[in-house]
Amino acid sequence: MTLPSDNPLDLDRTDPEREIASRAEAFRNWGRWGQDDVLGTLNFIDEQVRTSAAALVKTGRTVSLAQRFDTDGPQKGWRRRINPVHTMTDTGTDAERGSQGFPHGIGGADDYITMPLQCSTQWDGLGHIFDHGKAWNGRAAGEVVTSDGDQVTGIETSRATIVGRGVLLDVARHLADGELEDGYAITAADLDACASAQGVEVRRGDILLVRTGRYTRTVRDGWGEYAGGPAAGLSLTTAGWLHRTEIAAIATDTWGFEVRPNEFDVPSFQPLHQVVIPNMGLTIGEMWNLDELAHACAELGRWEFFLSAPPLPITGAVGSPINPIAVL
């Protein structure tokens, strides 16, 4: 079988259905880890990968890769996604007034938060995207995700899995002055060239981070159209690269991981998601804060690190907020 091209110039921009279908078929991992599999490419993170990753800790320096979770966030209501609403149910004022009903002068504060699970730094679970009614591993979408949640590949299934070797490809630094232009489609050749320039090898089982500089712009200029608007991102044509490198997961500093607008002259929506989540079984992270990490990696001259990024074990969820920690 002739594999789909890695070159965006070869895309038929009038036919997303065919371009998506050809990659879904070519890079499909259904059955690769058995019919009952719930982890997809996260299976590439094994004990040896984690042991090797632990040896990457040299200085003990830690970097959080999370954006903030508060009302001043990127969400604007698309698909009912809002920014977090933080509510206090007990406060210091209550304690001062003695209205909490506790004995011997003790007081306390309590709170809760209401938010979509994918409103800020997060993982997309394998039940998040379907392809023509099929979920990961060829299951019927309606048998996987019901009103009770994801009954098969809920995000809790990966709660002890996403810990291993992280690799940052700072494509924005490699190709531009720290920020790629909106709408720039990152190619397989770009990823290879960036890795070569940084002197780092992308390996099987890696948790790959790709920096576009889009979040950097929001810090400077405000959120603007960060959520759902134009952004640099991965080209649909990187599907083959993502498959053959056998990475375990990938995350970017953008809202949608792939280039926006998408690469077609007719209506399309997140075609790379449609290929890699339900067909390849690849876990995707979005809205990561990669700026401090990029500075640290450039300062230290190394682009690999120990990374811990487990999801919250929310039963049946199709995504999860996270606070990823890189240890250098």
d(CA 233, CA 214): 9
Angle between helices 214-221 and 291-300 (to 10 degrees): 120
Give the strand pairing for 149-150 and 163-169: unpaired
Got the DSSP string for 184-239? -EE-HHHHHHHHHHHT----TT-EEEE--SHHHHHHHH--TTTTTS-B-EE-GGGH
* pLDDT value, residue 228: 96
pLDDT in tens, 136-159: 999 999 999 999 999 999 999 999
Q: Distance between CA atoms of 234 and 259, rounded to whole angstroms?
A: 5
Three-state DSSP class for 173? Answer: helix
Prediction pTM value: 0.96
Q: Coil, strand or helix: which one is 66?
A: strand
Question: By the 8 A CB rule, do 184 and 236 touch?
Answer: no
Q: Using CA atoms, how far apart are residues 208 and 216, in angstroms rounded to an integer? A: 19
Q: State residue 1's pLDDT score.
A: 74
Q: How far is CA 310 from the centre of its chain?
A: 12
pLDDT of residue 247: 98
Q: Give the pair of three-digit tokens for residue 112.
A: 């809760």
The pLDDT value recorded for residue 194 is 98
What domains are there in the chain, each with its CATH number? 8-78+117-327 (3.50.30.50), 82-114 (no CATH)
> Which residue numbers in the chain have pLDDT < 70?
none
Q: How far apart are the first and last CA of the chain?
A: 42
Please tell me the predicted confidence (pLDDT) of residue 23.
98
Please give the distance of CA 162 from its chain centroid, rounded to a whole number: 12
Torsion, Cα of 186, 187, 189, 190 (10° steps): 0
